[in-house]
Amino acid sequence: MATTTVSLGKDILGADKKERAASFAPQEKKMKLRRQLLLQLLLLFISFIVLFPILWVVSMSLDPRGLRPLTLTLIPANASLDAYAAVIDKPTNNPVGFWTLARNSLALATSVSVLSVLVGVFCAYAFSRFKFTGRQVIMLGIIIVLMLPTVASLAPLFVLLNKVQFTIGDVNFNLRNSLIGVGLAMISGALPFAIWNLKGYIDTIPKDLEEAAMIDGASANQTFFQIMLPLALPALAVTAFLGFLTGWTEFALSWQFLTNPQDFTLAMALWNMTGQYAANTPWSKFSAMAILVALPVAAVYLALQKYIVGGLTVGGVKG
Amino acid sequence: MATMTKERADSLAPPRRSNFLRTITPYLYILPALIIMTIITYYPIAYSLWMSTTNYGIKNLRVDAPLPDSVGLQNYIDILSGAVSSLIPNFNFWNTLAFNLWWTFSNVIFHVAIGIIIAVILNTQGLWFRGIYRAIFVLPIVIPTLVIGTVWRNMFDADYGAINQVLAAFGGIFGMPEAAFHIRWIDQVDPPIPFIPLPLAYYALLITNIWLGWPFMTIVASGALQSINKEYYEAASMDGASPVRQFFSITLPLLRPAMVPAAMYGMIVTFNLFNLVYFITGGGPLRQTEILVTTAFNLVNAQRLYGLAAAFSVFIMIILIIITVGTNRISRATESYDV
């Protein structure tokens, strides 16, 4: 008897709880389900818009039909990787192969990124951690060129680099007309960016560890190499990657400076396959090229994305 | 024993020398960067100031060529007064500047508004597939603008482009003929909206750049949303504030400290967005969608007017300094808002 009452009591209590919960839940759930579906519909639509160009270019790259597509297809009939093979075999009408283009882009991007980070991190550390006479003025000087896109300095860079010419034997070297010249011109913009971006990151690293090291008698150099550099490693990686990205996709300078097809880059070849220059380039080939240019950097960006986006606004605008 | 000696040596080190070291250390750290930047950044800028007062042209490029003639401020005057248009058809500095400012402004407004709305939607409690959407929405950021520009250029193609094909497919549902969607996105000169003097190419660029730009703002806004205390919303809904009211009275003000610097960053990026404009419209039709950096490129690339281009770059520099100082002011002014 007693047990029944107790269990009954429990039951009532339980029912009561359930009922109370129920009096909230169904309403909320109904509201939520309708809202949920509405939001899902909206988000699906946005996803479609975001994915559309990507799907289009992938589908196009697999499309074996002639020069231009007349209809939209997601997976084209007789899909094949022929376009990729064709691009790697002979990307444009210029006498230069895909791997030469890729090697040039890689060399340009790597050296710009490594050099600007290597030199930039010392300068960034000084701005972030030392107080010294002239600091404000020098920082201002860097901010000013930071905002100036390299395209705007195209004319003086072209003229100045063009002055460095010499002849060894029968080889005439013109710094302007070489990948080294393009790299130098790019570093003129990439270095201020690297300094500023790294300074933004280093500013956010607490000083405690360095101060502890200083108290233990470490010199400024020891603190920098043994404490700061390891802590700043993610920032160095991100900044190096952003520098790499600029080099990998650089167009204006190399297009303007370089005349020898053996020095051309992937970005230049991609533009050669677009629009007015590309009346005879099948879009399948163009699309394959676009994917080959984008894929390596997009994959790395995706992996580093979390660190990059936060850092850009910190390093980019906050002084 | 060894540590002892070292400690003693440290404490006995003459203070003057360590002071001197401490004073020059910062300069040693910035020296490599300063040397490199002096040679390849500042010297070219200074050189371009001189070039801008000359008629530097293709004839002066040879190594042993004579120096160009000084023309004083003529290049600057020609740019501002429009006298350059005798050399370069349709060149108009003020139109380009106005378009560039409007281009920046209209884009960033869309980026921030769409970015915040979608961040709020993604932040809704109990939303399904949140992670999948986040992963999809980040894609426009990670693709290089060079590739985005060239791909959209082809998508806007009047004859074979995907945009017209999609529009025709939708139009077909309503029985509209396919020919109605032969839209010449890139080269139609007449403005599509009669009283707004912007060519169709502007809208093509705008569509592309909205596609490209909002996810960055969504990521920034998402981060800021997660740091907003939920109690504000609970208190507000107890007081009977509607979700819309809550959005405008709680969410927006608390997002401001994060969104203002992001918007300023977006403005500077959009202002100089060479890759998109050059690859999609090339500044056309009739230079109506030209922005300052594409004009600077064309002055060198197509016209080979180095002196004039240098003067033009000086204008770009002045305008960018004004914008940078302005945006920094705005960012700073809102910084105190930070909790």
Together in a domain, A128 and A192: yes
% pLDDT > 70, chain A: 86
Q: Name the most confidently modeled range: A62-66, A73-77, A313-317, B288-292.
A: B288-292
Q: Name the most confidently modeled range: A59-68, A105-114, B224-233, B296-305.
A: A105-114
CB contact under 8 A, B40 and A256: no
CA-to-CA distance for A215 and A225, rounded, in angstroms? 16
In a domain, A74, yes or no: no
Both structure tokens of B256: 């401001």
Measure A240 CA to nearest chain B CA, in Å. 15
Determine phi and psi for A158, rounding to 5 degrees: -60, -50
Domain count, chain A: 2
- The answer on pLDDT for B199 being more than 80 is yes
In a domain, A66, yes or no: no
SS3 assignment for A127-181: HHHCCCCCHHHHHHHHHHHHHCCHHHHHHHHHHHHHHCEEEECCEEEEHHHCHHH
Domain boundaries, chain B: 89-335
pLDDT of residue A319: 31
pLDDT of residue A311: 62
CB contact under 8 A, A154 and B300: yes
Task: Tell me which residue of A159, A134, A157 sits closest to A252, measured CA to CA.
Answer: A157
**pLDDT (average), residues B166-194:** 86
Contact B265, B189 (CB under 8 A): no
Going by pLDDT thresholds of 50, 70 and 90, the confidence category of residue A313 is low
Inter-chain CB pairs, A–B, below 8 Å:
272
With tokens 């429009």, the residue in question is: B82
Together in a domain, A140 and A237: yes
In a domain, A181, yes or no: yes
- Residue in A49, A142, A318 nearest the CB of B211: A49
Contact A150, A186 (CB under 8 A): yes
**pLDDT (average), residues A106-124:** 94
- The answer on pLDDT for A1 being more than 80 is no
Other residues' Cβ atoms within 10 Å of the Cβ of residue A262: 13
Task: Tell me which residue of A196, A180, A4, A257 sits closest to B265, measured CA to CA.
Answer: A196
Q: What is the DSSP letter of B72?
A: T
Other residues' Cβ atoms within 10 Å of the Cβ of residue A281: 19
Residues B239-276: tens digit of each pLDDT:
999 989 999 999 999 998 888 888 988 998 899 999 89
Residues of A in contact with B119 (CB under 8 A): none
pLDDT of residue A310: 62
Name which residue leads in pLDDT, A93 or A31: A93
Going by pLDDT thresholds of 50, 70 and 90, the confidence category of residue B303 is confident
SS3 assignment for B114-134: HHHHHHHHHCCCCCCCHHHHH
CA-to-CA distance for A186 and A248, rounded, in angstroms? 11
Contact A293, B246 (CB under 8 A): no
**pLDDT (average), residues A106-130:** 94
Contact B191, B286 (CB under 8 A): no
Give the residue numbers spanning the domain of A274.
Answer: 82-316
Put simply, whether A94 touches B (Cβ < 8 Å) is no
Together in a domain, A158 and A193: yes
pLDDT of residue B274: 92
Half-sphere exposure of B161 (CA within 13 A, CB side): 23
Helical ranges in chain A per DSSP H: 2-61, 82-89, 98-129, 135-147, 154-163, 179-204, 208-215, 220-222, 229-231, 233-249, 252-257, 266-272, 283-316
In a domain, A276, yes or no: yes
Q: What is the mean pLDDT of chain B?
A: 86
Contact B209, B270 (CB under 8 A): yes
Put simply, whether A69 touches B (Cβ < 8 Å) is yes
pLDDT of residue B265: 86
ipTM of the complex: 0.85
CB contact under 8 A, B324 and A220: no
- The answer on pLDDT for A105 being more than 60 is yes
Helix (H, G, I), strand (E, B) or coil at A218: coil
SS3 assignment for B163-204: HHHHHHHHHHHCCCCHHHHCCCCCCCCCCCCCCCCCCHHHHH
Put simply, whether A123 touches B (Cβ < 8 Å) is yes
Name which residue leads in pLDDT, B326 or A311: B326
Q: Distance of alpha carbon B271 from its chain centroid, rounded?
A: 4
- The answer on pLDDT for B41 being more than 80 is yes
CB contact under 8 A, A305 and B216: no
In a domain, A100, yes or no: yes
- The answer on pLDDT for B48 being more than 80 is yes
Task: Tell me which residue of A212, A238, A241 sits closest to A226, measured CA to CA.
Answer: A212
**pLDDT (average), residues A264-277:** 85
pLDDT of residue A5: 36
Q: Name the most confidently modeled range: A143-152, A271-280, B70-79.
A: B70-79
Residues 224-263 of B with CB under 8 A from A: 258, 261-262
* Nearest residue in B to A29, CA atom: B126
Virtual torsion, Cα A249, A252, A253, A258, nearest 10 deg: 100
Together in a domain, A187 and A241: yes
Buried b (16+ CB within 10 A) or exposed e, A187-222: bbbbbbbbbbbbbbbbeebeeeebeebeeeebebee
Residues B126-139: tens digit of each pLDDT:
889 999 999 999 99
Residues 156-175 of B with CB under 8 A from A: 157, 159-160, 162, 165-166, 169
Together in a domain, A40 and A112: no
CA-to-CA distance for B314 and B98, rounded, in angstroms? 17
Residues A198-220: tens digit of each pLDDT:
998 888 888 888 888 888 888 88
Residues A7-30: tens digit of each pLDDT:
333 444 444 444 444 444 444 445
Residues A55-102: tens digit of each pLDDT:
999 998 988 776 777 777 777 777 888 889 888 988 887 888 899 999
- The answer on pLDDT for B7 being more than 50 is no
CATH code for the domain in which residue A301 is found: 1.10.3720.10
Together in a domain, A43 and A172: no
Non-local (6+) Cβ contacts of B276 within 8 A are B145, B148, B149, B205, B208, B209, B212
- The answer on pLDDT for B336 being more than 70 is no
Q: Burial of A28 by CB count in 10 Å (0-12 exposed, 13-18 middle, 19+ buried)?
A: exposed
CA-to-CA distance for B137 and A147, rounded, in angstroms? 28
Task: Tell me which residue of A151, A91, A78 sits closest to A285, measured CA to CA.
Answer: A91
Other residues' Cβ atoms within 10 Å of the Cβ of residue A133: 10
- The answer on pLDDT for B8 being more than 60 is no
Is the CATH number of domain B89-335 1.10.3720.10?
yes
Residues A120-178: tens digit of each pLDDT:
999 999 999 888 888 889 988 888 888 888 888 888 999 999 988 888 877 888 899 99
Mutate to test the interface with B, among A56, A87, A302, A304 (most CBs of B within 10 A): A56
pLDDT of residue A235: 87
Going by pLDDT thresholds of 50, 70 and 90, the confidence category of residue B118 is very high
| A206 upstream amide cis, omega within 30 of 0 | no
Task: Tell me which residue of A243, A238, A246 sits closest to A267, measured CA to CA.
Answer: A246
Together in a domain, A51 and A104: no
- pTM greater than 0.95: no
Q: Out of A258-267, B18-27, B257-266, pick the least confident.
A: B18-27
CB contact under 8 A, A317 and B127: no
Buried b (16+ CB within 10 A) or exposed e, A13-26: eeeeeeeeeeeeee
- Residue in B33, B146, B321 nearest the CB of A123: B33
Q: Burial of B110 by CB count in 10 Å (0-12 exposed, 13-18 middle, 19+ buried)?
A: middle
- The answer on pLDDT for B173 being more than 50 is yes
% pLDDT > 90, chain A: 34
Both structure tokens of B61: 């490029």
Together in a domain, A94 and A167: yes
pLDDT of residue A268: 92
